[in-house]
Amino acid sequence: MYRKYFGTDGIRGRVGVPPITADFLLKLGWAAGRVFANEGNGFVLVGKDTRISGYMFESAIEAGLTAAGVDTRLLGPMPTPGIAYLTRTLRAQAGIVISASHNPYYDNGIKFFSVEGTKLPDEIEQKIEHYIDSPMTTVESAKLGKAKRVQDAAGRYIEFCKASVATRLDFSNMRIILDCAHGATYHIAPHVFSEVGAEVVTIGAEPDGLNINDECGATKPEKLAATVLAYRADLGIALDGDGDRLIMVDHKGEIVDGDELIYIIAKSRLEAGLMVGPVVGTLMTNLGMEHGLKKLGINLVRAKVGDRYVLEMLNENKGILGGENSGHIICLDKTTTGDGIIAALQVMAEMQSSGKNLYELKSGMQKYPQVLVNVKTHKKINFDADENIQKAIAGVEKKLGDTGRVLLRASGTEPLIRVMVEGQNEDAVNNFAQQLADDVKKVIGA
């Protein structure tokens, strides 16, 4: 279904560069308001992360909704999964998130949640786009929307997160280093983990509007790893700017990525008799995770890259667990979207129940070396139809056999072709990836 403005995860870009401008966000708020007003009565929740442009865009969206005659409830800084939860439990018509997730402060974006706490249906996004391209009008003064703040938003979400693990579990023997990426979880996550009993040392919880995701959080966990070793902590938890990604660090300072965390949660669910359906990964999910799950008797199915597609495939396959190696982890038996805090609690619960540390839990699967080479391109290529590329891929796949995998895909956000090779032998994987990248360059004339 063609969408002019909406991508796979809302609308995102550089602040001040269309469409991420104050005037466009005003129009977007009005357009969304028109659609929601036609769909029924009710209010719309608006939350944001901690980047400085959030103030400007919060005001613009609020003004647009007001002009369309829709009431607004402002949440202030709130993790994306928290906005999804509150949209559902407060019975809002929709939730609007102002965030560019793991991107730097100079980017921002907008995404929507439905009343069920899931992404908006494509047809609703298309209706919003129709109004964006229409002249903006204002309802008569008596019908203008009203705006007010939700005072207990943080407390509601904190209690929801804590309820995702059994109250009988005692985390008082755990020392945790928590990195909030100077993002939307800074006033939420420390309370969650300390209130379930853990000893918490918090870093990355002093947002100034410009430092979100800056050399910290789930995209840069090296500082967390060093802090875990310095404090001799049991584990480290790294969230990203909007709280929907999770990367962890074990007591040895080794980084534990999304694939390994999903494996741990899947094994825990299986042993508790709670595993339902396959695990859903993506085209980038490590082959070692697939083999590790297979040994447990759990199937892995692969979706396109993007949590939107993971969620769609989970629903199609009636599964409860999926995600990406980047740390997007969806536990549908606990919530409706990817949630870094809730995923971390599931891993901690397994540590307590099993008596094993994070290093021991991740050892059930062995990650294969995975090499990614980006090739700049000035034109689109149909990989399937190009005989030379297919011949090169087939040659590498034959040498790898069942112990490796090849993936070529075009980037959805940059003029790049991503060449990925994984297998058991790191030197061979490196050589194959560079060989394939050279073959692609020849075809595109680079």
Sheet of 94-98, strand order: 11-14, 107-114, 94-98, 43-48, 71-77, 147-149
Quick check: 202 and 190 in contact, CB under 8 A? Answer: yes
Which residues lie closer than 8 Å to 113 by C-beta, 6 or more apart? 83, 84, 87, 88, 94, 95, 96, 97, 119, 120, 337
Q: How far is CA 277 from CA 95, 170, 274, 297, 314, in A?
A: 29, 30, 10, 11, 8
Catalytic residues: 101
What does residue 369 show for φ and ψ, rounded to 5 degrees? -55, 135
Residue-wise burial string across 31-42, b where 16 or more C-beta atoms lie within 10 A, e elsewhere: bbbbbbbeeeee
Q: How far is CA 191 from CA 102, 158, 166, 341, 342, in A?
A: 22, 7, 17, 11, 13
> Given its phi and psi angles, is residue 304 left (phi above 0), alpha (psi -120 to 50 degrees) or beta?
beta
Which uninterrupted H or E stretch holds 108? strand 107-114
The SS3 call for residue 386 is coil
- The DSSP output letter for 403 is G
Which residues, listed in sequence order, are joined to residue 73 by a DSSP beta bridge?
45, 148
Q: How far is CA 55 from CA 46, 60, 106, 271, in A?
A: 12, 9, 13, 46
Q: Which pair of structure tokens corresponds to residue 176?
A: 């945790």
Bridge-based pairing of strands 107-114 and 147-149 is unpaired
Rg (CA), the chain: 22
Q: How far is CA 184 from CA 74, 206, 243, in A?
A: 14, 10, 7
The SS3 call for residue 331 is strand
Rounded CA gap, 53 and 50, in Å? 8
